[in-house]
Amino acid sequence: MSADAATAADAARAADAARAAGPVRVVGAARAAGPARAAGSGPSAVDRATKRTRVLAVLDAAQAEAVVLRSHTAVSWYLDGARTHVGLAGDPVVWVVVDRTGDLVVTTANERDRLAAEELPPELPVAALPWHEPLATAVPPGAVDESMLAGPLRQARASLLPAEAARFAGLGRDCAEVLTDTLTTTRPDETERALAARVAAALAARGTDPLTVLVGGASRAAHRHPLPTDAPLGGRAMVVVCGRRAGLIANLTRWVRFTPPTAAERATAARIRAVEEAFFQATTPGRTLADVLTEASAAYGAAGFEPDEWRRHHQGGAAGYHGRDPRAAPGGTDVVAVDQAFAWNPTAPGNKIEDTVLLTAEQPAVLTVDPRWPVTDGPRFPRPDELVRP
């Protein structure tokens, strides 16, 4: 069975379960979110209303009456930053049914009180099922599964709203500061795992989920997704972080080294920055991500890399409530929007550059920034250099 067919079958089973279901066991309204959310990360009533309007427009275009949001990405976005997980690798413990009359939050009885007290926007009705019953039991007949509207829903959440943009800037700054703090205190004999543990702990201390922490030392420079090992960092190391808070995910890469770069290494770093600049140049509102990828990836050859270098690793894409929402790929139809965030990550052997950047109406603004980190002036804004430790 294909992935699309499996998704359709899941949606059909959910609808059948809803038709056969008895009454929901517990119904109530959420209380105001408590202190569990990081400072400044609570829901915005204004943003929530705008998101509901956007989803209703998606329903209008699809001639549908209701949609069930059941992914971490969609639910956290719609609930304005609610934490939808228990385990980082687990499925969401909360769904939302959006229809013409209002919203219904669906969860289990053992999660309801915590969600209502700490995560959910106030006054939302909550349907709570026994823990052993599937959430699909509370989904009304005829509600469309979010997978059937994946593209339009991605476009609906593309443009960040004011409160979201402010939260994203705070998250980006915190992630950048964590890498500055940890990499300015590392040493060549520290292992990749030890450094990754310090990075993850520092992120968690700032209320940020360490979704991805990659560390690759000198002996593993050939790997573009280096899961940490017990190898020492050696003379040079790359650290990659994807940190999540209030649903939003900031992405960035930093390098640290213990000897000054050679002239050839500095030239290669300048060339990868030229490729990144081509991505920024191509990322303009109204263009598809596929068009951006096609134009910008041509910069590899122009910068002296192999022309097909872009095929050896993904190049990034839109950022927000998913690591890439979506990843840029040939044939993709998602359209660049104003106030959308992007995390491009051009890479070549032993080189990579990555930040999360907000595409505003005026000019792009880097979100993952710490003024303490060494930089090189770029055409639009400063770009991170390698940190040289004594």
Handedness of CA 344, 82, 157, 285 (dihedral sign): negative
Alpha-carbon torsion, ordered 290, 316, 343, 291, to 10 deg: -10
> Angle 384-305-308 (CA atoms, 0-180°, nearest 5)?
115
Q: What is the pLDDT of residue 39?
A: 53
Q: Classify strands 347-348 and 102-108 as parallel, antiparallel or unpaired.
A: unpaired
| Cis peptide bond N-terminal to 326, omega within 30 | yes
Residue ranges and CATH numbers for the domains of the chain are 3-149 (3.40.350), 162-388 (3.90.230.10)
Residues facing 352 on adjacent strands: 347
Q: How far apart are CA 94 and CA 75, in angstroms?
A: 8
Phi, psi of 376 (to 5 degrees): -120, 140
Q: What's the rounded Cα separation, in Å, for the pair 305 and 313?
A: 14
Residue 38, phi then psi, degrees to nearest 5:
-65, 155
DSSP 236-298: EEEEEEEEEETTEEEEEEEEEESSPPPHHHHHHHHHHHHHHHHHHHH--TT-BHHHHHHHHHT
pLDDT of residue 390: 87
Beta-carbon count within 10 A of 85 CB: 16
pLDDT, residue 123, reads 84
Provide Rg for the chain, Cα atoms.
Answer: 22
Q: What are phi and psi of 18, to 5 degrees?
A: -65, -40
Task: Please give the pLDDT value at position 153.
Answer: 98
CA distance 169 to 177: 12
> pLDDT tens, position by position, for the chain (390 residues)?
343 333 334 333 333 433 333 333 344 555 555 545 555 566 788 999 999 999 999 999 999 999 999 999 999 999 999 999 999 999 999 999 999 999 999 999 999 999 999 999 888 999 999 999 999 999 999 999 999 999 999 999 999 999 999 999 999 999 999 999 999 999 999 999 999 999 999 999 999 999 999 999 999 999 999 999 999 999 999 999 999 999 999 999 999 999 999 999 999 999 999 999 999 999 999 999 999 999 999 999 999 999 999 999 999 999 999 999 999 999 999 999 999 999 999 999 999 999 999 999 988 999 999 999 999 999 999 999 999 998
Q: Distance (Å, rounded) from C-alpha 370 to C-alpha 373?
A: 6
* pLDDT confidence of residue 254: 98
Task: Tell if the pTM clears 0.75, that is, is over it.
Answer: yes
Structure confidence at residue 37 (pLDDT): 57
- The count of C-alpha atoms lying within 13 angstroms of the C-alpha of 243, restricted to the half-sphere facing its C-beta, is 34
Answer yes or no: are the C-beta atoms of 78 and 321 closer than 8 Å.
Answer: no
Q: Are 16 and 133 in contact (CB under 8 A)?
A: no
